[in-house]
């Protein structure tokens, strides 16, 4: 996970002050932020179905409203910093999604 996961889960999901969580991350990482963030996005109903099919950890077991806030947080952060974020539709086979990620990262590396 990354500083963005902390912002999404603690800030957006748990309702902690986003600026405070960001400042703590700045301090904890000594200002280090990723150059690129790959966000695997899917329709809410696809996410919910995938979660129903597996054993959940404590974050995943936090309920639908929590996950809606986390997803909204990720989408908000991605929209606010499109130069850093690569949004990949996480639908289709694993190989298909992996290929989309590879192509997107290759394009950014050029």
Taking the mean position of all CA atoms in its chain, how far away is CA 52? 19
Average pLDDT over residues 26-54: 85
The CATH code that applies to domain 3-109 is 3.40.50.300
User: What confidence score (pLDDT) does residue 13 get?
Assistant: 96
Q: What is the pTM of this model?
A: 0.81
Domain extents for the chain?
3-109
pLDDT tens across 74-100, in order? 999 999 999 999 999 988 889 999 999
Name the helix (H) or strand (E) containing 56: none
- Contact between 77 and 8 under an 8 Å Cβ cutoff? The reply is yes
Under DSSP, the state recorded for 8 is I
The torsion angle over the Cα atoms of residues 78, 84, 87 and 93, rounded to 10 degrees, is: -140
pLDDT tens across 11-20, in order? 999 999 999 9
User: Residues 6 or more apart from 48 whose CB is under 8 A from it?
Assistant: 64, 67
d(CA 23, CA 44): 30
């Amino acid at each position: 996970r990354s500083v963005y996961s902390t912002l999404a889960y603690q800030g957006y999901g748990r309702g902690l002050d986003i600026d405070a969580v960001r400042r703590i991350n700045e301090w904890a990482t000594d200002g280090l932020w990723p150059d690129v963030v790959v966000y695997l996005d899917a329709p809410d109903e696809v996410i919910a179905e995938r979660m129903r099919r597996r054993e959940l950890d404590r974050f995943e077991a936090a309920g639908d409203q929590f996950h809606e806030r986390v997803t909204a947080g990720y989408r908000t952060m991605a929209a606010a910093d499109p130069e850093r974020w690569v949004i990949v539709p996480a639908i289709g086979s694993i190989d298909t999604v992996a290929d989309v990620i590879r192509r997107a990262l290759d394009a950014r590396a050029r």
